[in-house]
Amino acid sequence: MFYIIFYIGTLILDAVLGTFFIALIFSLALLVPSIAIAARRLHDTGRSGWWQLIALIPLIGAIVLIVFLVMDSTADNEYGPNPKATA
């Protein structure tokens, strides 16, 4: 959510200044952390981080990836126990 808010802010700043590179730099700076977060979330659901590549399929791929990212964690997987199970 903060990513979207700050990205919109950089777009507005770019529009006011008449440039295009501030939002681009912001997006590139957060590209690797975004990939890492999505891979971690997919690992929590018992899938490989490579499932992110499904988003390259037009329309359907993004929908499937969002469904995978919001699914509940499996009980235990190779990356550790489910933190919700102990709570």
What pTM was computed for the model? Answer: 0.73
| Per-residue model confidence (pLDDT) at position 7 | 93
Mean pLDDT of the 39-66 span: 91
- The overall average pLDDT reported for the chain is 88
Mean pLDDT of the 46-68 span: 92
- For residue 34, give the DSSP letter: H
| Per-residue model confidence (pLDDT) at position 86 | 63
At residue 63, φ and ψ (nearest 5 deg) are -65, -45
Q: Is the confidence at residue 66, as pLDDT, over 70? A: yes
At residue 76, φ and ψ (nearest 5 deg) are -135, 140
